[in-house]
Amino acid sequence: MINWIKWFVVGAIALIAMVAAGAYTTLYLSLPRLEGNSSTYHVAQPTQLSRDSLGHAVINAEGILDAAYALGFAHAQDRFFQMDLQRRAASGNLSSWVGKAALEIDKNARFHQFEQRAQAVFDNLPSKQQELLIRYSHGVNEALNEFTTLPFEYIAAGVEITQWRPTDSILVIYSMYLDLQGGQVNLDLARTALQDTFGEEIYRFITQPSHYQAALDGSKLPLSDAPVPEYPNILSQANDTVSVTHINQNRYSYDGAELPDIGSNNYAVSGELTATGAGLLANDMHLSLRVPIIWYRAQLNYSEAGENISVTGVSLPGLPGIVVGTNGYIAWGFTNANLDNVDWVTLNSDTPTTTVTQTIPLPGANNESADSESADHASAGHEFTMEMSEFGPVKTINGKRYALNWVAHHDFAANLAIVDFGRVKTVDDALLIARKIAIPTQNLVVVDSKGSAAWTPGGAVLNREKASYTAISEEQMRNNTPLPAVSLPVVKNPTSKRIWTANARVISAEDLPRLGDGGYALGARGQQIRDRLFEKDRFTETDFYAIQLDNHAQFLIPWHNLLSGLLTMHNVEFKPDLSYLNTWRACACEDSVGYTLVKHFRREVVQMLFGEILSTLDKQGVQSRTLLRGIEPATWQLIHNQPDSWLPHGTDTFDELLVDAYRRAKNKLLDKYSPLEANMDTLRWGSVNKLKVKHPFSAQIPLVGDMLNMDAVEGFGDTYMPAVQSTGFGASQRFFVSPGHLEKAILTLPGGQSGHPMSEFFTAGFNDYATQAATPLLPGEPIYSRTFYKKEEK
């Protein structure tokens, strides 16, 4: 018996070892080949792809088309899984990988019909841009053809790799539209539902301007002087069928988290404020952080019109060219501009529409997209139907039909004009290129080696005489033919010698009626950056880095003062809490318990005051959380005026409401982070807001899945401050550069170049990000190199 058990254990261990060895071998065989020579029909001259110790891809080519081929090859070797996810997310084909869990995501994407629109965009591109995408695709596919074993993501998901098409790169641009402007689509619908459901007074109250304004020209929007409206009657009255307890539960149960400030920080000074006389630029684009990271280090060296060009920065896997970077003469960066690019059109009752039916493939089905004509596909996937009108796809809310006109739906929404930044030498030249760029509209900030600095909206903007914030009529839409805007504002070399953008309103109050508000950030972060820029008269790259890491809690100081005053009146109950508040240090610092308490107190107050209104909108099929970005002025107006009608049933005073909100916030925190001991020391902000950069498959792989993630990092920042960070969101790059002085330039990224867990580049560079170190922008000495030679035609 003992021998039998012994041999069983030995056999089990041997089997586990064989499985582990097989998995290791499979992973090893899927590593890309980084050295050697290749021949291809898709380069005109010998083209070299090198990598340094960080995996930084350095491409030396005769022309930009050959460079595009090599960049596609590098992207596919290191990041094809990421590229595949982005094209699937935009086309509505995630469910074929992960099953029914992704159906709602796919339905939302297919509502926009991006796969069909991508072909129309490609057909309208200039021939040079079409050829760039074609060459890039050849590079991607030839790298895929080299895989002897599928990357592990494809083995884990049980799916095959499909070849990259030129139009798939357009889908990658559309995926960025969903990330960067998807909130605008939801916001206008939420505004419309708010106005229709609760009336004009409540609409104006909740969407009123705030004092947090930092436009570049200093212009201010007038603040509201209207009295606080009564709490909506349709929500405030209990009756025989709706109890007081039920009404209060609706208030308290709302859990809409605020939207992250997608779009980032971007600031610059002209040469008069630098020691070298060149402009200085900082850029940190705030996005969701995951493994692999979104950006890819690259340097493209090529010739154009007899001139040598070298462009260094970050590229987006799936697209040829550098998105944010420098060519040594200029440097440029982006933040989400949040200009209004959306119209929802209220359809008349007799307006004709058509029904479009598609099949969303599920695992095990044919994974190609299909229309309703294919009965075979319909039996193998999920059938999805949508309504179309002459104005765009249709949604029905509260019995009304609304058609969507979004800039992303038009042929002028996407192009590759951004690659032309590589050949320009001055801010003036860059501003000319900016007029041609078609991407989700960004605040473009550009500086040059001669000392100039400028801002302008860069990207596709709808041309309108007046922007709309709620749904418009069919007649208004017919009088407003969708065309790209040709007249956009520019600020060049302002007298302040400083430029800043941070997702809030940058445009002047005069331009606002035409360009609109597509969901501006509150403005507190922009104000804090502006104020930091006026604290000094001379700046270096290190000074700019310090601004990006500024986690001073200026925005929450009034909330801290409010909470401290309230708890002081209940000193016996809250004596320990006051100790944490008194040592909060007014920063989103790792060791600050007080910061955590103040942050969650504010959130609970907002939810208790507005939860029932917003949850009512959610039940109608809109996303009310988009309205939370601008809720601050209405919240403080209620706190200052304390109208009885806004109190929950059974609550006598606002002080009672506010103290109850704190108790709720504290109890929720302790239930989550210390359910047994109720130890408030566990509420350190660094622990509550710990950064966890994770691979989307890590939770699905037992035992070793966590090895796919980056090491967790103590949280040090938050929203409403320059150092933006949540548990899975933050600066997707930290970029500081002065053209002509690239030896001092910095580019720090929250992860490695390669998505392969056995690659030496999987985590390379992440430690610099975690420790807030300065990774050089310029590549180091190459350690691997491949050369592509032209294969002779037979």
Q: Tokens in use for 32?
A: 């890309």
Give the pLDDT score at 266.
96
pLDDT computed for residue 26 by the predictor: 64
Q: Give the per-residue pLDDT at 243.
A: 57
For residue 262, name the pLDDT band (cuts at 50, 70, 90).
low
CA proximity to 749, closest of 38, 179, 57: 57
With cut-offs at 50, 70 and 90, classify the pLDDT of residue 246. Answer: low
Per-residue pLDDT at 658 exceeds 50: yes
Q: What angle, rounded to 10 degrees, do the helices at 571-582 and 557-568 form?
A: 150
Res 377: pLDDT: 41
Task: For residues 506 and 334, give the distance between their C-alpha atoms in angstroms, rounded to a whole number.
Answer: 13
Number of H helices, E strands in the chain: 23, 26
Q: Note the pLDDT of residue 242.
A: 53
415-452 confidence digits (pLDDT tens) = 999 999 999 999 999 999 999 999 999 999 999 999 99
Q: What percent of the chain has pLDDT over 90?
A: 83
Model confidence at 241: pLDDT above 60: no
Instruction: Give me the pLDDT at residue 156, please.
Output: 79
Strands 307-315 and 296-304: antiparallel
Least confident of 13-22, 354-363, 536-545, 739-748: 13-22
- Percent of the chain clearing pLDDT 70 (strictly above): 92
Q: What is the pLDDT of residues 701-746, one digit of tens each?
A: 877 788 999 999 999 899 999 999 999 999 999 999 999 999 999 9
pLDDT computed for residue 3 by the predictor: 57
Q: Residue 574 has what pLDDT?
A: 95
Q: How confident is the model over 323-376, as pLDDT tens digits? A: 999 999 999 999 999 999 999 999 999 999 999 999 999 987 554 444 433 334
Whether residue 158 has pLDDT greater than 90: no
pLDDT at 18 over 50: no
- The least confident of 240-244, 543-547, 555-559 is 240-244
From 270-274, 360-364, 466-470, the region with the lowest mean pLDDT = 360-364
Q: Binding site for Ca(2+), residues?
A: 340, 342-343
Q: Does pLDDT of 691 surpass 90?
A: yes
CA dihedral of residues 42, 45, 50, 55 (deg, nearest 10): -40
Reduced to 3 states (helix: H, G, I; strand: E, B; else coil), residue 704 is: coil
- pTM for the full model? 0.93
Rounded Cα distance between 331 and 20, Å, is 48
Report the C-alpha gap between 51 and 66 in whole angstroms: 17
Task: Evaluate if residue 151 carries a pLDDT over 90.
Answer: no
* Burial (Cβ within 10 Å: 0-12, 13-18, ≥19) of residue 520: buried
* Chain CA centroid to CA 214, Å: 22
Distance CA(172)–CA(296), nearest Å, equals: 14
Work out the angle at residue 291's Cα, subtended by the Cα atoms of residues 288 and 296, and round it to the nearest 5 degrees.
85
Tell me the two tokens of residue 551: 């986690």
- Helices of type H across 45-165: 64-91, 95-98, 103-111, 114-124, 127-145, 152-157
Res. 4 pLDDT band, cuts 50 70 90: low
The amino acid sitting at 4 is W
Domain boundaries, the chain: 1-30, 553-586+593-683
- Strand ranges of the sheet holding 498-501, from the earlier edge strand across to the other edge: 498-501, 265-269, 280-284, 734-737, 746-748
Q: Are 28 and 148 in contact (CB under 8 A)?
A: no
Q: What is the DSSP letter of 694?
A: B
Cα separation, 46 vs 70, in Å, equals 11
List residues forming the annotated binding site. 340, 342-343
Q: Are 691 and 677 in contact (CB under 8 A)?
A: no
17 by Cβ neighbours in 10 Å (0-12 / 13-18 / 19+) ranks as exposed
Strands (E), 166-269: 265-269
In the prediction, which pLDDT does 379 show? 45
SS3 (DSSP) at 487: coil
In this predicted model, what pLDDT tens digit does every residue of 599-633 receive, in sequence order?
A: 999 999 999 999 999 999 999 999 999 999 999 99
Averaged pLDDT score across all residues of the chain: 92
List the catalytic residues. 264
